[in-house]
Structure 1
Amino acid sequence: MKPPKQFSNSLPEGNSEADFEQELQEVERSLFSLKERYNQVQSDREQKAKWQQRRQELQQNKNPTPEIKAELRQIKQQLEALELNLESQLFSWRSFKKPFWQAVRFGGMGVIIGWILKSCAG
């Protein structure tokens, strides 16, 4: 019984071993980049939790001093920066690149087909 083509040890026809190695390196780079982003997100989430806990501790103080108010403003700024960093890591150009170009391509085709139909009907 012949093994399925997807489990074959040979490379697909038309591809050289160099192409395969290049694609494999690209996959490895993408995986490394994904791991780095994941670690950064985890670190930012932990830092965010610490800042939120500290802010909550300071807000429970009945008589806030100017130092406490200044620290609360600094914590607020840190939390905003972390939120921005977390949001920017969730949305990147890579995640929108394929849908963007599909919308451009099919939207453009729709406009062209519309012009053709209008000229035929007109």
Structure 2
Amino acid sequence: MTKQPEDWLDDVPGDDIEDEDDEIIWVSKSEIKRDAEDLQRLGAELVDLGKNALDKIPLDADLRDAIELAQRIIMEGRRRQLQLIRKMLRQRDDDPNHQELVKLKTRDK
């Protein structure tokens, strides 16, 4: 009797296909774009903040330097700097920054 293709996977030692730790989470391209746009908006809002408001948000030194540089740059350089800030935010947990920004906005209104 020859093996069917479904049975071939049974012969692989130590390979448990239904292992929950190896679960693949698929993310749509649209969701990735939405997340990138949200980070871009967050970065732009951080750049638009004044120095006093920016001091109230816990930021890394390199991210703070990038934001301060973006505040001094105009035109096309500013767009590229905002993209760099988005990249830096993506590499960090931006939730605390976002929460602090929301607090500042609601307090100002």
Q: Same fold (TM over 0.5)?
A: no
Q: Which has the higher contact order (CA 8 A, sep 6+)?
A: 2
Question: Computing the radius of gyration over CA atoms, which structure comes out larger, 1 or 2?
Answer: 1
TM-score by length of 1: 0.28
TM-score by length of 2: 0.30
Q: Which has the higher helix share?
A: 1
